[in-house]
Amino acid sequence: MITKIALVVSILLLSSCGGGGGQNNSTDDSPASSPPPRPAPDQITGDVPVEIDALAVPVIDIDNGTTRYFSFVSAKATAYRITLQSISGNANFTLRDAAELTSSTIVGQSASANSVEVLSFSADGDKKMYLAISSTENSTSFKLFINTESTIANRAKIFVSSEKHNGNLAADRALAGNNAIEKADYICNTSVAKPDNAQYKALLVDGLYRDAINQTDWVLQPEQRYFRRDGVIPVGTTNTSAQFSPDAKVWAGLLLHNAVEDCNDCDPSQQLAWTGIADTTDLFSFYFSNCGGWATTAVDASGTYGIYIASDYDALHSTAGDCSHAHAFYCVQQPQAEQSL
């Protein structure tokens, strides 16, 4: 299991305040154009410590003209990444030194609906920091994550390769590997989308060289939480069989926490990754779901793919398609003991 480095965070809710958190990106000490008022002690409610970077980050709702303050204590010489995952609506969020709340914006950012925005900073001391988040819509919903960069670096990740390939991997001599599965792994480990120096393997099955049922060179670990390539947004948690836990309420039994990738206004038919999975309940594969062992583009063969902007069963098995088409691959980080860095 991955060690979680907890950040103890107090959620400070301002019950009555006006104005926004501002969009000033200035890093100097000049007054902000519309500084938020310093929260008075008698205005603070719900001062309960929470672990902001935990899996069950709550959805937070704010209305137009409302600002909510969140605080955490930074540690000297520690790098932080603050991520706002917008569920709906638009918001402005700014990071401020508590001692200079009314006069200085350390960094600011705007978040639009269905997007993920990031603030990064290195702490210059042990002190309280404020995040002021204001809505520019009638209603805005979001999730807020605060992580140290060291926490993110130690998390298991899944990403989508930027590179695409047709269903005949075996015949491609430009790809290193003794079989089609190893060639898909090569694509993952040389992808420009790879987020770090860890070893990755393709979530691609053929029932022979890689099989989930018999755990043959299987890429997922049991009871493991996986994150997007940013190491912040959780994708899914596996069960004891090293498969994403099925949900009885969802047809075909798969429900992820989040899609592997987000994309505003994307055409789902263009956001595809080969998987070879014929049944999402056990990740079974056979000839007509894996392009004949990922070795043919013949018209009588087909391969299954998932939609990587989906978080239900479509993520691993949307439908079967023509093996002559080129699609991306899901790439899964491997345990440290198996990595050759």
pLDDT digits (tens, 9 = 90+) for 171-209: 999 999 999 999 999 999 999 999 999 999 999 999 999
Fold of 156-341: Mannose-Binding Protein A; Chain A (3.10.100)
| pTM for this predicted structure | 0.81
Element (H, E) at 77: none
Fold of 8-153: Jelly Rolls (2.60.120)
User: Where in the chain are the domains?
Assistant: 8-153, 156-341
- pLDDT tens digit sequence for 78-121: 999 999 888 899 999 888 887 766 666 778 888 888 889 998 98
Question: For residue 264, what are the contacts with CB-CB under 8 A and spacing of at least 6?
Answer: 112, 113, 114, 115
- DSSP strand pairing (139-148 vs 107-111): unpaired
CA distance 21 to 154: 32
SS3 of 71, please? strand
Residues 287-302 have a mean pLDDT of: 94
| Res 93: pLDDT | 86
Question: For residue 327, what are the contacts with CB-CB under 8 A and spacing of at least 6?
Answer: 164, 165, 272, 273, 274, 305, 321
User: 38 or 142: which carries more pLDDT confidence?
Assistant: 142
Q: Which of 37-51, 252-266, 299-313 is the least confident region?
A: 37-51
Cα(first)–Cα(last) distance of the chain, in Å? 20
